[in-house]
Amino acid sequence: MLKVLEQTFSDHNPQVQIASLVAWQGLIDALVHPQILSCKKNGIQQLQTSPGKSSELVLNGFSKSLKLAMAPLIGIISSKCDVSVLLSCLNTWCYLLHKLDTFINSPSVINVVLDPMFQAIFKIGPDSKSIRLWNLCLDLLEDSISTKCSDLNSDPKDQVNLHLSARTFISGSGRYSWNQYPIKWLPWDLSQLDFYLKMISIIITHVATATAAPESKKSVCDAAVRIFRSVLKGVQMEFRNPSNNYDNIMFCLNTILSFMKKLGEDASSDGGGDLFNTSLYLIEAAVEELEPSIMESPLYKVALDISYVGSLDSVKHSKIPHRCSFMDMFSPMVYLTVLYLGLVVQLTINTPEMELILQRLQRFYKFVLSSDDPLESFLASVGFLYAHMGFKYMEIWMVMVTCLNGYIDGMKDLSLFRTDSDNSFYRAICHLLSYPFILFSCAKKDITLSKASNPLKESFVLSERKLEQVIEVWKSLFGSVCVACLKSSATNTLSHDLCAMLNSCFDENSSMFQYNSELGYKDLELACLSFSGKVLVCILEQKLTSDTIGRECVGVCNGSSGINNIFEFASRVMKFMYINMGREPASGLVSSRVFSTLTRFISCLHSKQDILSFFEIISGLLLQWLSHLEIKDENAKDQLGILWAESLNCLQRSQPPLTFDSSFLKLQASLLQKTLDHPNTSVSDPTIIFWNSTYGKQISLDYPQNLLHVLHKLSRNGRISLYNRSKSFVARCSTLENDTVTTPRYCKITATQKSSKRVELTEEGMIPGSNQNNKPPSNSKRKRVELTEHQKEVRRAQQGRERDCNGHGPGVRTYTSLDFSQGNQELQDSQDIRDSEAMLEMLRRDN
């Protein structure tokens, strides 16, 4: 009978073929029904892949009968028969599924009955001829999968009654109803996972078909994602089943991840398009549907066997934080995050759908960060981003920063923001904020620029507007992290730590400070200058704001090394500005803003240590700027003068006070040389005022050689004051001369020899009208000065306690003018001798 029926199938008359299929149902009854009765008689409820010996014969007979029943059906479906014949064939196949009762759920039956028919129809695709077959098979597949989502504790017999497929479809020759052929699906187990993923893979192949209509591709993609979500819901039930062991869970995870990795690699080779979108949808589904406690658990780590990650191991950037290397072990969530990012970065940045892709990336990354434990995924994503150095990846950076910013704003537990050295989350944020600088600094060294196509200009003239967006995103994250750090601890060291990281970036890429006139780098340098200046302004303003609010006092509570990092960063930015000075109007605007903000920042400095650190670090750059006399931007020139004036004010308000001695003058000599006689009065005037109020009041100074000319010029013009020790002596001797004329009772000076004089001291008790109560108070400070032996002798002679060697009367002694030059060490030195001799000569003439 079988041979007769097979011959009728070869008839090209659709009516004959349909009649043969109806007759085939009777043969199915004859083939299948006795086998089912035999299985039940032997106590076999479901056919096992590895049956016991007692039922092996029964199962082998069942398997042969099913293959006989399926052979002509597969042949018809694979042929080019009329649609009505194909639908009739499918109806006969459904009759077979119905007759199999609950045995339809056995793996061996699935392999013989379901797998070949699904493959045959899904490979045909949803064309105009087979669309109804396609849709009906999709419905059957979804029905078989959805049974898994029932209550695991319910009785299987009850589950059968709840999951009966009853479909109705219309063929060209009439209506076929499946209500008469209900199919008894049971909840599936993990042994069927491979089968379902295999069917989904076949379905997805039609997404990449170039000839398929866009509507058809979208329909296929939607179906694949919908069925995959149903499978994941079933897997989720297995994850929650306490009876499942570790091996089952790992099998499940590895199977799903391998499926998505293969699909992602196919999408990468396809170069984007619908297959790429489908891959992203499936990864999103996995992240959303699977149990977070397992996906993020360190117990269920999997090897990062993504081929694209393996290609990144050759990237030669020296410091990639949190690097994800090929075959390293990570949680499933990290695996999917890296797989997703890998697909996005491989997409051509200028494709029309890129904006939509970035929106999807933002939704995906938000979901990853909102999970129970996002730390490992966040660290991995930062490390993955650092392995990609190109301006086209700035868009991905912006998405990550925006998502992280939102995550931080909603955080309740801020312990992650402790500024400990081993806090990986805090360090990763600093790395994320540093990423744009890495791009700029590595551009000349690591990114090949083509002058012909000028890709850098193309991506950057994207533009000024895009650069502004980058700045705004950066500032937003920086501000959020600062607030979180202040809430989590007593101090906020983010500015210090970030500046230290940025300084290393600048130092490791010194090519940033080398002017290059090539057109290919012009836009890069100006963009880097603008970005660096605005970041510095943001850091300084945030520091001012947070410290003004009251947590800290700039320069007092902060560690000196921390504020030094800020000064170091400011010096590097100033150097970068100096190199690009005058090249574009924008550079002048950046310089003006930086100088203005830096002026406000140092106006809050009071600590001696911080002020000295500022001068030690910044003075070299200040000297360069102040030495340049052709600053074209007037506003920048004015702000530079204000910055210099405030720098001098810092020195004068230092606590504890600074000592303006010869040593400190030597340190400032180069700056003072350029600024004391600077052609710009906004620089020279405050410098002269500073000099007169500090060094101009000092008694003893050793002037550096490079200051002599300018000091000579300004002192001759009367603009600066130099302390003249001879003037002090003249003033003291003038007082003595006045006392000789008006009050001769105190002293009498007479000339005796060419270089000597006689002083008669009259004891006050002998002078009429003398009143010792009017005697001015002694200077205790002078009493503490230790006198030389010769000075003591002169003092005793002045007090009349010793006679001289020539036998003169009491209180009379002759001594030379040299005696007057040996005064207090605080007021006189050997340089005053000539002045004192001139004064004595004047006194002799008066007498």
**What does the pLDDT look like over 429-438, one tens digit per residue?**
999 999 998 8
Across 526-540, 804-818, 822-836, the highest mean pLDDT is recorded for 526-540
Task: For residue 16, give the H/E element and its range.
Answer: helix 14-41
> Using CA atoms, how far apart are residues 436 and 446, in angstroms rounded to an integer?
14
> Using CA atoms, how far apart are residues 85 and 167, in angstroms rounded to an integer?
18
Confidence of residue 38 (pLDDT cuts 50, 70, 90): low
In 3D space, the residue among 14, 186, 137 whose CA is nearest the CA of residue 85 turns out to be 14
Rounded alpha-carbon distances, angstroms, from residue 788 to 133, 785, 793, 823: 122, 10, 9, 10
- Minimum mean pLDDT range among 182-196, 343-357, 359-373, 740-754: 740-754
In a domain, 669, yes or no: yes
Q: Name residues whose C-beta falls within 8 Å of residue 824's C-beta, 6 or more positions apart in sequence.
A: 782, 785
Domain boundary among 685, 708, 734: 734
Q: What is the mean pLDDT of residues 92-103?
A: 86
Label residues 292-317 b or e (16+ Cβ within 10 Å = b). eebbbbeebbbebebebbeebeeeee
Confidence of residue 152 (pLDDT cuts 50, 70, 90): very low
Percent of the chain residues topping a pLDDT of 90: 37
Can you tell me whether residue 176 is helix, strand or coil?
A: strand
What is the reported pLDDT for 320? 67
In this model, does residue 279 exceed pLDDT 90? yes
In this model, does residue 140 exceed pLDDT 70? yes
Q: What is the mean pLDDT of residues 24-31?
A: 71
Confidence of residue 587 (pLDDT cuts 50, 70, 90): confident
What is the reported pLDDT for 12? 57
In a domain, 137, yes or no: yes
DSSP-H helix ranges across 42-130? 53-78, 83-99, 107-109, 115-124
**Number of structural domains the chain divides into:** 2
In 3D space, the residue among 238, 261, 265, 263 whose CA is nearest the CA of residue 250 turns out to be 238
Is 90 or 726 the better-scoring residue by pLDDT? 90
| Residue given tokens 């899904």 in the structure block | 122
pLDDT in tens, 338-354: 999 999 988 765 566 78
pLDDT in tens, 455-506: 444 444 446 788 889 999 999 999 999 888 888 775 678 899 999 999 988 8
Confidence of residue 614 (pLDDT cuts 50, 70, 90): very high
- Minimum mean pLDDT range among 222-226, 367-371, 744-748: 744-748
In a domain, 12, yes or no: yes
| Residue given tokens 């699906």 in the structure block | 185
User: For residues 608, 614, 617 and 619, what is the CA-based torsion angle, rounded to 10 degrees?
Assistant: -110
Can you tell me whether residue 170 is helix, strand or coil?
A: strand
Rounded alpha-carbon distances, angstroms, from residue 59 to 52, 70, 198, 480, 483: 10, 16, 25, 67, 70
Rounded to an integer, what is the distance from CA 5 to the centroid of its chain? 72
Compute φ and ψ for 616, nearest 5 degrees: -65, -40
Domain boundary among 697, 714, 734: 734
> Using CA atoms, how far apart are residues 300 and 298, in angstroms rounded to an integer?
6
Query: 10 Å Cβ neighbour count for 4?
Result: 9
In this model, does residue 840 exceed pLDDT 90? no
In a domain, 450, yes or no: no
What is the reported pLDDT for 487? 80
Across 137-141, 390-394, 587-591, the highest mean pLDDT is recorded for 137-141
In this model, does residue 733 exceed pLDDT 60? no
Q: What is the mean pLDDT of residues 742-752?
A: 39
Confidence of residue 78 (pLDDT cuts 50, 70, 90): confident
Across 176-185, 440-449, 613-622, 742-751, the highest mean pLDDT is recorded for 613-622
In this model, does residue 446 exceed pLDDT 60? no
Confidence of residue 122 (pLDDT cuts 50, 70, 90): very high
In a domain, 253, yes or no: no
> Using CA atoms, how far apart are residues 292 and 312, in angstroms rounded to an integer?
28
| 14 class by beta-carbon count within 10 Å (0-12 exposed, 13-18 middle, 19+ buried) | middle
In this model, does residue 420 exceed pLDDT 70? no
Rounded alpha-carbon distances, angstroms, from residue 785 to 736, 801, 823: 21, 21, 10
Domain boundary among 140, 162, 188: 188
What is the reported pLDDT for 37? 60
What is the reported pLDDT for 168? 43
- Taking the whole predicted model, whether its pTM rises above 0.85 is answered as no
In a domain, 704, yes or no: yes
Is 764 or 87 the better-scoring residue by pLDDT? 87
Confidence of residue 613 (pLDDT cuts 50, 70, 90): very high
Instruction: Say which DSSP state 817 is in.
Output: G
Confidence of residue 227 (pLDDT cuts 50, 70, 90): very high
What is the reported pLDDT for 217? 86
380 in Cβ contact with 400 (< 8 Å): no
What is the reported pLDDT for 334? 95
Q: Name residues whose C-beta falls within 8 Å of residue 519's C-beta, 6 or more positions apart in sequence.
A: 451, 454
Can you tell me whether residue 756 is helix, strand or coil?
A: strand
What is the reported pLDDT for 610? 93
What is the reported pLDDT for 16? 62
- For all residues of the chain together, what is the average pLDDT? 75
In a domain, 91, yes or no: yes
Confidence of residue 87 (pLDDT cuts 50, 70, 90): confident
In a domain, 184, yes or no: yes
In this model, does residue 400 exceed pLDDT 70? yes
Confidence of residue 837 (pLDDT cuts 50, 70, 90): very low
Reading phi first (left if > 0) and then psi (alpha if -120 to 50, else beta), residue 787 is in: beta
| Residue given tokens 């129809």 in the structure block | 121
Rounded alpha-carbon distances, angstroms, from residue 242 to 239, 285, 441: 8, 24, 53
> Using CA atoms, how far apart are residues 569 and 577, in angstroms rounded to an integer?
12
Confidence of residue 20 (pLDDT cuts 50, 70, 90): low
- Give the range of the structural domain holding residue 722, as residue numbers without chain letter: 659-734
